[in-house]
């Protein structure tokens, strides 16, 4: 399954905050959605999912809600859990879109918990976890949905370095298994190292779309992000470190 966006435009009041975005997300891709604060990353994902009114075409938004929930898992930026629900029960909510046998649901929840290293947290109350622990639990809920597409809004925010790397590795592995993953990422170093492709947004428009090294050019970093950065290739992969504000 592919996500296809054609000329997607989202207005907030009279202003377009996403404008004329055309892109596809296909199996095997881990797309990093990058761009400065306010560039339109969250808005783009929510419109693609049919959660915001938009113009143009979004293949997911065009599906009826139940089919959409079986096609795509969404990991939103907000991480509030109001009740003292157990981690296991929270992750099991990811199975809601499916009409599968209980044993299949349990197996999917087990796979998601194991993948996120959360077996020991199964019986903990979700509203008594640290911010980073809860972020991993909500990622497990999205994984338990076992959808061909995954959209994640800043999944690495608030995670420690080990868990940031682990989260990016899980998404990269899901892509390698044939899913299509798109995640907004502020850490350009993580994005450069783990994503197969970057889409750079600037003021609601696609400023660049391609392999990380082709997207993260000094000119675009200055123009779009207002920074200059150190960027080199090592045997461990690309290393990217923002250095200074340019203007
Ligand atoms: N409910 C709203 N009403 C009006 N404008 C909004 C609303 N939500 C977002 N915006 C505006 O739309 C633009 C894009 O916001 P969006 O949240 O998509 O950006 P973002 O790239 O995800 O930013 P960040 O990196 O800060 O999370 C911003 O200028 C923002 O102020």
Report pLDDT digits (tens) over 204-236: 999 999 999 999 999 999 999 999 999 999 998
Question: Residues 202, 206, 207, 210: what is their CA dihedral angle, to the nearest 10 degrees?
Answer: 130
- Give pLDDT, residue 106: 94
- Give pLDDT, residue 115: 96
pLDDT averaged over the chain? Answer: 95
Ligand 1 pocket: which of 11, 35, 40 to mutate (most atoms <8 Å of CB)? 40
Q: Given the CA of residue 186, which atom of ligand 1 is nearest to it?
A: 25
What's the pLDDT tens digit per position in 135-154? Answer: 999 999 999 999 999 999 99
- Give pLDDT, residue 210: 98
Q: Given the CA of residue 184, which atom of ligand 1 is nearest to it?
A: 22
Residues 132-139: contacts with CB under 8 Å, at least 24 apart: 132/158, 132/159, 132/160, 132/163, 134/79, 134/81, 135/79, 135/159, 135/163, 136/163, 136/167, 137/87, 137/90, 137/91, 138/75, 138/79, 138/90, 139/75, 139/167, 139/170
C-alpha of residue 219 to centroid of ligand 1, in Å: 24
- Give the residues surrounding ligand 1 with Cβ less than 6 Å away: 12, 17, 35, 37-43
- Reported pTM: 0.95
| CATH 1.10.10.60 holds for 3-77+152-245 | no
Of all protein residues, the one whose alpha carbon is nearest to atom 18 of ligand 1 is 40
C-alpha of residue 25 to centroid of ligand 1, in Å: 22
Query: Mean pLDDT throughout 57-77?
Result: 95
Of all protein residues, the one whose alpha carbon is nearest to atom 3 of ligand 1 is 12
C-alpha of residue 3 to centroid of ligand 1, in Å: 22
Band the pLDDT of 44: cuts 50, 70, 90: very high
- Give pLDDT, residue 55: 96
Q: Does the structure show a pLDDT above 90 at 182?
A: yes
C-alpha of residue 109 to centroid of ligand 1, in Å: 33
- Give pLDDT, residue 123: 96
The residues that bridge with 8 in the sheet, in sequence order, are 21
What distances in angstroms separate CA 56 from CA 46, 64, 162, 201, one per listed residue?
14, 17, 39, 17
What distances in angstroms separate CA 83 from CA 87, 89, 113, 126, 145, one per listed residue?
11, 11, 20, 8, 21
Q: Does the structure show a pLDDT above 90 at 159?
A: yes
ipTM above 0.95 for this complex: yes
Residues contacting residue 192 through CB under 8 Å, at least 6 positions apart: 198, 212, 213, 216, 231, 238, 240
C-alpha of residue 38 to centroid of ligand 1, in Å: 5
Q: Given the CA of residue 204, which atom of ligand 1 is nearest to it?
A: 14
């Amino acid at each position: 399954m592919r996500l296809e966006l054609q000329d997607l435009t989202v207005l907030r009041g009279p202003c377009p905050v996403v404008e004329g975005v055309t892109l596809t997300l296909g199996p095997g891709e881990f797309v990093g959605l990058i761009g400065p604060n306010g560039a339109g990353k969250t808005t783009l994902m929510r419109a693609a999912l049919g959660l915001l009114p938009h113009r143009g075409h979004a293949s997911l938004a065009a599906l009826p809600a139940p089919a959409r929930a079986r096609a795509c898992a969404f990991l939103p930026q907000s991480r509030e859990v109001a009740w003292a629900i157990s981690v296991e029960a929270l992750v099991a909510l990811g199975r809601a879109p499916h009409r599968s046998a209980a044993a299949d649901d349990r197996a999917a929840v087990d796979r998601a918990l194991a993948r996120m290293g959360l077996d020991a947290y199964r019986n903990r109350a979700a509203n008594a976890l640290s911010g980073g622990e809860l972020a991993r639990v909500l990622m497990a809920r999205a994984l338990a949905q076992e959808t061909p597409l995954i959209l994640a809004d800043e999944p690495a925010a608030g995670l420690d370095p080990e868990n940031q790397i682990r989260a990016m590795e899980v998404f990269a592995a899901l892509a390698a298994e044939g899913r299509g993953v798109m995640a907004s990422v502020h850490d350009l170093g993580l994005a450069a190292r783990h994503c197969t492709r970057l889409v750079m947004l600037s003021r609601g428009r696609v400023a660049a779309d391609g392999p990380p090294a082709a997207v993260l050019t000094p000119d675009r970093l200055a123009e779009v992000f207002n920074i200059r950065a150190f960027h080199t290739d090592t045997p461990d992969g690309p290393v990217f470190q923002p250095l200074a504000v340019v203007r």
